[in-house]
Each structure stands twice: as structure tokens, then as C-alpha cells.
A and B are shown apart, each in its own frame.
Chain A
Amino acid sequence: MKFPVPHDIKAKTIPGTEGWERMYPYQYQFVSDDPVRNQYEKDTFWFYDGLHYPEPLYPFDTIWDEAWYLALSQFNNRIFMVPPVRGVDHRIINGYVYISPVPVKDPEEIGRRVPNFMERAGYYYKNWDALEAKWKVKMEATIRELEAVKIPRLQDMEDMSVVTDAMGESHGYHLLKNYDDLINLGIKCWQYHFEFLNLGYAAYVFFLDFVQKLFPSIPAQRVTQMISGIDVIMYQPDEELKKLARKAVELGVDQAVTFSREWSEVEVALKKLPAGVEWLKSLDLAREPWFNISCGTGWFHHDRSWNDQMNVPLSGIATYIGKIKQGVSIERPTAKVIAERDRITAEYRGLIEKEEDRKQFDELLGCAKTVFPYVENHLFYVEHWFHSVFWNKMREVAAVMKEHGVIEEIEDVWLLRRDEIKSALWDIVTAWATGVTPRGTQTWPKEIVWRKGVMQKFKEWSAPPAIGTAPEVIQEPFTIVLWGVTNKSLADWAAVQEVKDPDTITELKGFAGSPGIMEGKARVCRTVGEVGDLKQGEILVAPTTSPSWAPAFAKIGACITDVGGVMSHAAIVCREYGMPAVVGTGHATKIIKTGMMIRVDGSTGAITITR
């Protein structure tokens, strides 16, 4: 299979974006002036990480990409010594992130790494539950620290307490230091993110691998089903909405809660009622931490949380109140899911002929079940809770920058790299201290206007799914399970990319996420904000879904996503609700339009559009 040379792609600069490279760290560039690096880049296989980045990266948002560039790679290559693979290398073209696993080429070196890996990874697998408990403590402490970070406003005259406390430091210095703290906490949180994740995925990947060897035709979703139904906290935010819906009915304030889709109006109405005040107390209890759930994946500054957008959970509560009023159960059918999981597992196990294969099956299943809760739960702690708080702290920093005229709008801050922000803060505090105007007031606003134009052009650019030279074997566990990189998936994506007129496409392929067949009207929701438009029984078509989308699943008949594998949120939730899902289609939201009649086959991954 042939893919374009990365440097050729990069050389075709989109007119008007010349110089875009300064928006990203220099080591992310494909280079032409360093022959050794240039050759390495040409010989390497790079694939577009559409799973995490459906859109080009804003300069500030690159922080999480750098964070996992470091964290995933170090745990693979320096801590656990995964034998055949080092880390995952990163590049950016036109704002889109390309990644590539780096193999260990020398067979002797691979051999030397084996005992280290056995010892180190073995330690984690063996002590998984105890270490995971420690992880939770570390992670919660990190979030508390983040919440405690204060972003000071700079006063014309420092407060008297600076003198009486003999503080010996100014708030200007605190601004610089606390910004650093903020960034460092973010990087630290991502260190923890990968402490267990590589090993978690490895256990899952090789359980999948083993079962597929025994049963070549087994759908991956059946394998994930065998480890499903374990209580994971990802469901908790949705459970809180159900609790609040029940409470509203109980207290008789359900009409006040549902009379408007605007939270501000509902809140005013509730405050006037004694029972409403009581309900609001329950709401406040639920909000921390459960409403720190991002309305997107949490990876981007524009992914706001429920706490930021109360209309979203309100719509979910209203949906559940409606169901309760109709006498429809809103309980998650956990017992049924567990019974079905156990039946499936037992039946597959019963078909294994050899005793030693059955033993291996038990071992690997046990291991996968041990790691599964972490693989799910880390998302809530890192991408949702930590990130939601983090983005808002960054908005406080941006407010200071706006106050000093370095940026015009708070949301402009995301167009700067985090080191550029640090420089701008130095500019601000030195100018503040000295009593002069920051130089940045004349440079940054212009640069930001230009960068906004560049981002717009990047969004219109279509990133090729893969570039460089394809390898014969992939050994990195994430690459296999998360991105599902196979020749087939790449060819499928490429085929759709090559179609000139998307209006003629009648068939789309994705991963079979949850079994069943459903025909119905499509509803394309690009963000969770559009979920309110969904009508009962429609088929949701979304870029991806996250736990904050949970209430949508109470309404829809099936779900289709652009990105994600059989372990993605949409696939897991649909399996729980017993409705079809096709995930990782690549381009469904671009091809399917709201109102189209479509057929979703969640057992084969096929989508048919009736034109």
C-alpha cells in the first residue's frame, strides 16, 4: 500500500497560512534541512490521529498532545520496557496530529528488554488493585491542588497585607508562578493518566487476540461484552441525573424543572418554591464532582462541562422526568447486562476444546477484568474532572491578559502556545511593575487575528489518513486497539476520501460497535448542545460521544460516530442499552444529513443511506 511522502504534503502550503509552523513546537515539524531526520521521517509510517483530533489543534491545546507524547512513550520505553516498541513519535501538518510507534529494531535488544518488562509490568499486574487505589489518592490530590491554584489580578497598589504579612513577594510574581503551577499540574495529571493505561490496554488487546485465535469470526464487541457490566464511574453522572429526576417528581417540582430549556429561568423558578430550594441542594451535591463531565472528549478548550452549560444536564433531567411520568423504567439494566455477559462468556468458554486453552482464556479474561475499570475510570478523573477545572483556570489567566490588553477576548488565549503565554505574562508583569505598557498589546492581537484565519483554513483542509511508509508488523498495543490501524481500515477511509461528491455515497463502513439492525431518520449532532433536538427513535450521528451525551441514549434508536473503536463510549453505552452502534466510520457526520433515512447494521458495521 502506497502513502504520500509527508514532506510533499507539507510542501503544499495552504495559501495564506505561510509561517503556520510557529503555532506549534518546533520538534513537531517534518524537516527538510536535516538529512538524517528527513530520511527517518520518510521511512516511517505516520497515521492521522483522528481518534483524538477530529479537528486541527489550537496552539494552546497542543499541551495535552505534548503531555501524552511524553507520558505514553516514557511508560512504554523507559519505565516498563515494553520489549519490541519504544514510544510513539508525533508530528503536525496543518494543525493535524500524525503519530507513529517507534519499534526496537535489534532483536538482541528486544530480548534484553523481556526480563525487565516481565518484572516491571508483572509487578503492576500483580498488585493492580492496591496500586490503583494509590492512584486514586494521587489523582484526587492533584485535582484539589488544581482547584486551589489562585490566579491573582494585578492591583495598581498592592494590598496592605503584603506589607503587614511581610510577604516579600508581589502578585506579579505569583501570577507567573501560579501559571507555571497550573501547567505543571496538567503535565503531572497526564503522567498519572498513563501510569496504568499502557498495561491496561495490553491486557485487553491480548485477551482480544487470544479469543480471536480461538474464534476467528468473533466480533470484537462480544469480547468487550465479556468484560462489561462492571460498575464504572463513567456512568455516575448519568445516574445523578436520574436521581435528580426522581427527586423532582418526589418533591413535586418536576413542572418547575421542565417548564423551560433555559437553566437560568428554571433556577429562578425553583428558588421561589420551598421544595425547589431543597431540590437545588440535592443538585449542588451532585454537581461536585459529577457535573465536571465534559460535553466533548475533554481534550479541547471548547469542550465545556455540564457545570459550564447547565442547559445540557437540565435537558437530560427533563428527558428522565418525562420517562418517569410515562411509567417507563429509567434504571440501567445492570442485572440483565451481567446475566447476558455471564451467559456469553460461559458459552464461548464451553466451545473451547483444549484444557490448556481454557486455562489461558481464564487467565487472560481475569486480567482484562482487573484492568477494565481503570481503562474506563481514568477518563472521568483526567479528561473530564481535571480538564474541566483546568480550562476554567486558564480562562482566569486569559482574563488577566485581556485586562492588560495583550488579547482582545478571553477565548483568544487558545491561539497562543503555552510558552508564548508565559512570555506574555512576563511582558505584563514587568510592564505592570514598571508602570509602562506591555509590548504585547501591539503584537499579539494582530497575530491572533492572523492565526484565527489560519485555523479556519486548516479546518477546511482534509488530512490524509496515513503518510510515509507502511510497516509489515505493528506491535504497539495502543496502535492496534485504540486506532484500529490495519490495512483494511486505512483503505476504507482512503476510499471515502477519494470520492469527489459525498452526495453520491450510499454505503459507509465502520466498526461493529453494538449489534442489531435499525432503520430510521438520521439526526446529525455535532455537539452535545444539539442533543435537545433529538426526537424519539432517531439515529444519532455524532463526531464522537462522551458521558455527558448519556441522556441522548435514552431517546435514540441507534448511534453512529466518526471516531472510536469498540471500546469507545458510544459502543459501550449502546451495548448496555441493547441498541445498534457503528463507530469509527471516519466521515459519517460529513456524509449523512439530518432527516436522511438510513439503515444501521451494528453487527457488521455497515450503514446504508436511502437516497
Chain B
Amino acid sequence: MGSVSEAIGRTAAERANAGPPLVCWFEDCGRESVPLVGGKCSSLGELINAGVRVPPGFALTTEGYRRFMAKAGLEGELRSALAGLDAHDHGALEKASARIRSAIEAQPFPLEMEDLIAECYRRLAVRCCVPALPVAVRSSATAEDLAGASFAGQQDTFLWIRGVDDVLSHVRRCISSLYTGRAIAYRIDRGFAEASLAMSVGVQKMANSFTAGVMFTIHPANGDRSVIVIDSNFGFGESVVSGEVTPDHFVVNKITLDIIDRTISQKQVCYTVDPVTQTSRAMEVPFERQRVQSLIDDEITELAWMGKQIEKHYGCPMDIEWAVDKDLPAGGNIFILQARPETVWSAKSQSATSGPGGSAMDYIVSGMLAGKKVN
């Protein structure tokens, strides 16, 4: 059982000798860290190390998760709640889920883990020079984003969490989200063993986003790899990710970074922080701003450039979440919150646009014979 300073300050070599840590800074993670910190946190670490601007943060590791579960002594409770459960009995699933989740959420962290998390959070706040730093607490599942077993988004995400106590309780809520009715049913259907289950939770500085959204480094409609497509709305990116609004839509030429197409939509809702309650909530966009372009041209270009670098780093088309922070000056205010390989087009083998790659003459003749549809 290591001390706080041990967990945070140890060198990589020491860590290797001392077994997996319970918490881990993002910058100490990389592509290979999925078993330790899950897909989401490992990719954030990978991005930071590639020089991409990512809000800082740390992860409760899968080891931390296991320690928590072991100390909580919930095995009996879990086993009895899940015993003989029918994956298609919605009522029973929800009942079991509620029972397990409240049991997990009611369970305090062991003291030394609470200290560890609290110290990491304090250091993060110091790093960002913000007292009671608002953070996003997100689950980072080890099975998430893995081919064929995508239950991405099935775990909860909590925005704008401030203070140690709230952070701790939301980390528990993330852990408990492993036991939503849907997640339980999914595992029963696929025959995943409960024992092998593990998850990590990321605690990340919250970008106070003026505008946020998603970006694909491939055209999601036609698989065109020469463009970057950006969807944006005011406030946090949740309104875009969830599909609650029709966002502004930009198509950028990946090679030249020209904006080749733009659609400015009427954006009625955005997510932002309620200044009184200090919580994230949906609010109506003032009418006069609804048709205003939510991302300025310079930001579009910079964002697309970042997307291009990320794609280059990973070597494949990417699906990226991003935000423009309103507290920081232009040129340093665009952050990448998440990046994962794009799965739809990458799974399809692009159909060859020609025969066996013949001569120019062959192509011209076959093209002439096919003609060009007027429409």
C-alpha cells in the first residue's frame, strides 16, 4: 500500500517494480496503456505525448478500480443481484442495476485511495491555477472502442464537477455506471465474465468551452479522405455529440485547409454552466445568436490543422471531440478532448475506382463509354 507521494511521484522504473499504480497522470499514459487506464484515458495520454493540446488530468486506474471493489466487499451483493438474471427482462435488469449502483455509490473509498485522488485533484487545480477546478469525470472502459464490443457511451460522463467530495462521489458514479441495465444485459448476451470486468475513470480539467463539437478526418457521408468535417455548437460539445441540435457544419480541404463548404444552422439549445448552481445544464441560445457561426474561420483552420496532425500520428482517419476555451487567448484556446480511430469507413474496404489500374487510355475509353450523368 503506497503513500500519496509514492503514487504520484514515483519514476517509471520504480512503478514497473512496484506493480501497477492506483492513479496515473494522462501524460504518463500512451497507446499501450488501455489495460491500465482504459481506451479514453490512454488515447488522451497518447495525444499529449504527440504534442496535441489536451486539457490535463489523471485517471483512476483499473488497478484502483479493483482495489476499490475488493475493499468494498460487494462480491456477495453482486453475485446475488445478478444470479439467474434474464437479459431480456427489462424490469428485473433495472431492479438489479439500481440495487448494485446504490451499493457501489454508498461505499466510501479506502482512506489511502481517497487521499491519492484528492492529492491528484489538488495538484491539477494548482497546475491550472484555478481553485476548486471544474473537471469532467468520465468513465474510460477497457472494453470500450474495441472492435465488435463497442459499448462506447454506455457509461456516464459528468461535467463541471468542482471540489474533492464531488469528484470522489462522481468517480464512484462512473464506476457504478458499469452496472446500468443495458450494460448488464450486453454482458450477459455476450457471455462476458463479471470477474474480468475492469474500468478506469478519467478526471480532466473542464474546458470552459465557448464552442465545442466533433471533427472527422474523413467525410462521414462518402468516405472522402481528402476532407475534414467539423460540427460545432456553442457551449459544451454534449449538444453536438447527443444530436440534440443541428450543429454548424464545415467541410475543410485536408490538403490546403481551405473551408470548401459551410452550413450555418439555427442552433436553439446549448449546454453551459449555470453560474448559480455551478452545474452544466441545457439552455436556450439567445435568438439573435442562433444563426451566428459558432466557430470562426481562423479556429476552423487551426482545428483542421490539429485534426490533420492527429490523423498523421495515428495513421488512420480519426473521430475527434474538441472545444474552444473562452478563458484563454486565441492561438492557445483550442483543445482536443477525445480522439479515436474512425470505425465506419475504415471497416469498409474502399471499392476500387477502376479496374486493375490500367493505362490512361483504358480509363479514358471506359470513362467515355460510361458517360456522365447529367444529374
- Listed in ascending order, the chain A residues whose CB lies under 8 Å from chain B are 82-85, 110, 114, 117-118, 121-122, 125, 202-203, 205-206, 209-210, 213-219, 222, 343-344, 347-348, 351, 353-360, 363-364, 366-367, 470-475, 477, 480, 485-487, 512, 515-517, 603-604
Report the minimum CB–CB distance from A327 to chain B (whole Å): 30
Residue of B nearest to A207 (CB): B360
In Å, the complex CA distance between A378 and B367 comes to 25
Which residues on A sit within 8 Å (CB–CB) of B150?
Answer: none
Let me know if A363 and B369 touch, CB within 8 A: no
Give 4 A-B pairs besides A357-B353, A363-B363 with Cβ atoms closer than 8 angstroms. Answer: A215-B225, A472-B374, A475-B369, A486-B375
- Cβ contact within 8 Å between B368 and A125: no
Q: What number of residue pairs across chains A and B have CB atoms under 8 A from each other?
A: 138
**Known interface pairs A83-B369, A217-B251, A222-B253. Does A367 touch B374 (Cβ–Cβ under 8 Å)?**
no
Contact across chains for B372 and A347 when beta carbons are under 8 A apart:
no
In this complex, what residue of B is CB-closest to A209?
A: B367
B212 to chain A, nearest CB (A): 24
Check: B347 CB closer than 8 A to any chain A CB.
no
Interface string of B214-225 (1 = CB under 8 A from A): 000001001011
Q: Which residues of B contact A367 (CB under 8 A)?
A: 360, 364
| B138: min CB distance to chain A, Å | 32
Q: Which of A216, A364, A470 contacts B219 (CB 8 A)?
A: A216
Contact between chains at A515 and B354 (CB < 8 Å): no
Kindly list chain B residues whose C-beta atoms are within 8 Å of the C-beta of A366: 360
Candidates B222, B365, B373; contact of A217 at CB < 8 Å: B222
B258 contacts across to A, CB distance below 8 A: 219, 515-516, 603
CB neighbours (8 Å) of B227 from chain A are 215, 217
Does B84 reach chain A (CB closer than 8 Å)? no
Residues in chain A near residue B13, CB distance under 8 A: none
Contact yes or no, B360 A363, CB < 8 A: yes
B contact residues around A347 at 8 Å (CB): 254-255
B329 within 8 Å of A (CB atoms): no
Asked if B358 CB lies within 8 Å of chain A CBs, one says yes
In angstroms, Cα B258 to Cα A603, docked, is: 7
Contact, CB under 8 Å: B361 / A121? yes
Please judge, given known A-B contacts A83-B365, A357-B354, A472-B374, whether A217 and B219 are in contact too, CB under 8 Å. yes
Choice from A205, A210, A604 contacting B260 with Cβ under 8 Å: A604
> Bound complex: CA of A356 vs CA of B350, how far in Å?
12
Q: Are B354 and A210 in contact (CB under 8 A)?
A: yes
Q: Determine whether the beta carbon of B374 is less than 8 Å from that of A364.
A: no
B9 at the interface (CB under 8 A from A): no
Task: Tell me the bound Cα distance from A538 to B81 in angstroms.
Answer: 76
Q: What are 10 A-B interface contacts by the 8 Å CB criterion?
A: A82-B368, A118-B365, A217-B227, A217-B260, A351-B226, A353-B350, A364-B363, A475-B372, A486-B375, A515-B256
* Complex Cα–Cα for A213 and B361 (A): 17
In whole angstroms, how far apart are the Cα atoms of A355 and B363 in the complex?
Answer: 16
Q: Please, how many angstroms separate the alpha-carbon atoms of A205 and B372 in the complex?
A: 11
Q: Contact at B374–A474, with CB atoms within 8 Å? A: yes
* Top 7 closest pairs, chain A to chain B, by CB: A356-B357, A359-B357, A367-B360, A475-B371, A473-B371, A215-B226, A213-B353
For the complex, give the distance between the alpha carbons of A222 and B224 in Å: 15
Contacts of A219 in B (CB 8 A): 253, 258, 260
Chain B residues positioned under 8 Å from A364 (CB to CB) = 360, 363
Q: Chain B interface (Cβ within 8 Å of chain A)? A: 219, 222, 224-227, 251, 253-256, 258-262, 297, 350, 352-361, 363-365, 367-369, 371-375
A203 touching B371, Cβ below 8 Å: no
A117–B362 alpha-carbon span in the complex (Å): 11
A347 CA to B227 CA, complexed, in Å: 12
In the assembled complex, the Cα of A84 lies from the Cα of B341 at a distance in Å of 44
Partner of B374 from A214, A486, A603 at Cβ < 8 Å: A486
Distance in angstroms between the alpha carbons of A604 and B356 in the assembled complex: 34
Greatest chain A CB density within 10 A among B224, B360, B369 is at: B360
Knowing A348-B226, A487-B375, say if A360 contacts B365 (CB, 8 Å): no
Given contacts A210-B353, A347-B255, contact A118 B371 (CB under 8 A): no
Instruction: Give the CA-CA distance A355 to B255 in the complex, in Å.
Output: 20
- Complex CA distance for A474 and B214, rounded to whole angstroms: 39
In the bound complex, what is the Cα–Cα distance between A485 and B375 (angstroms)? 10
Do A218 and B374 have beta carbons less than 8 Å apart? Answer: no
Contacts of B224 in A (CB 8 A): 215-218
Partner of A206, one of B222, B254, B352, B363: B363
Across-interface contacts of B371 in A (CB, < 8 A)? 84, 473-475
In whole angstroms, how far apart are the Cα atoms of A121 and B352 in the complex?
26
* Given A219-B260, A351-B225, A472-B373: A360 touches B368 (CB 8 Å cut-off): no
A216 & B365 in contact (Cβ 8 Å cutoff)? no
Looking at the assembled complex, report how far the CB atom of A427 sits from the nearest CB atom of chain B, in whole angstroms.
49
Bound-state Cα–Cα, A343 to B255, Å = 9
Complex: A216 Cα to B251 Cα, angstroms: 12
Contacts of A487 in B (CB 8 A): 374-375
B255 near A222 with CB under 8 A, answer yes
A328–B264 Cα gap in the complex (Å)? 40
B255 touches A202 (CB 8 A): no
Give the contacting residue for A360; candidates B226, B255, B256, B357; CB below 8 A: B357
Distance from B282 Cβ to chain A, minimum over Cβ atoms (Å): 33
Contacts of A470 in B (CB 8 A): 374
> Do A117 and B365 touch across chains, with their CB atoms under 8 A apart?
yes
Known contacts: A125-B360, A354-B350, A480-B372. The answer to whether A603 contacts B259 by CB under 8 A is yes
- A473 B372 Cβ-Cβ under 8 A: yes
- Give the chain A neighbours of B251 by CB distance below 8 A: 217
Q: How far is the CA of A564 from the CA of B61 in the complex (A)?
A: 62
Residue of B nearest to A516 (CB): B258
Closest to A215 in B: B226
Whether A473 pairs with B363 at a CB distance below 8 angstroms is: no
Q: If A217-B227, A473-B371 touch, does A354 touch B361 (CB 8 Å cutoff)?
A: no
| Contact A206-B364, Cβ < 8 Å, known A217-B227, A354-B350, A475-B372 | yes
* Bound Cα distance A367, B255 (Å): 23
Report chain A residues within 8 Å CB of B352.
354, 356-357
Residue contact A360 to B261, C-beta cutoff 8 Å: no
Contacts of A214 in B (CB 8 A): 353
- Cβ–Cβ < 8 Å partners of A516 in chain B: 258
- C-alpha spacing A110/B370, complex, angstroms: 11
CB closest chain-B residue, reference A202: B364
Which residues from chain A contact B260 at a C-beta distance below 8 Å?
217, 219, 512, 603-604
Contact partners of A218 in chain B: CB under 8 A: 224, 226, 253
Interface residue from B219, B222, B354, B360 paired with A356 (Cβ < 8 Å): B354
- Contact among A202, A357, A486 with B368 in the assembled complex (CB-CB below 8 Å): A202
Let me know if A360 and B363 touch, CB within 8 A. Answer: yes
| Min CB gap B299→A, angstroms | 15
Chain A neighbourhood of B261, CB < 8 A: 217, 604
Distance A367 CA – B363 CA, assembled complex (angstroms):
11
Q: How far is the CA of A405 from the CA of B351 in the complex (A)?
A: 72
Nearest-Cβ distance from residue A262 to partner chain B, whole angstroms: 43
Known contacts A216-B219, A348-B255, A356-B356, A474 near B372 by CB under 8 Å: yes
B255 to chain A: which residues have CB within 8 Å? 222, 343-344, 347-348
Q: Which residue of B lies closest to A358 (CB)?
A: B357
CB–CB A206/B226 < 8 A: no
Assembled-state Cα–Cα distance A512/B254 (Å): 17
List chain B residues, Cβ under 8 A from A348: 226, 255
CB distance from A219 to the nearest CB of B (A): 6
Chain A residue with Cβ nearest B259 = A603
Q: Are A110 and B369 in contact (CB under 8 A)?
A: yes
Docked CA distance A264–B353 (Å): 61
A356-B354, A473-B372 given; A210·B363 CB < 8 A: yes
Q: Which residues in B have their C-beta under 8 angstroms from that of A472?
A: 373-375
CA–CA, A54 and B269, complex, Å: 50
Specify which chain B residues have a CB less than 8 angstroms from the CB of A353 in the assembled complex. 225, 350
Contact status B360-A203, CB under 8 Å: yes
Closest to A85 in B: B368
Q: A117: which B residues are within 8 A, CB to CB?
A: 365
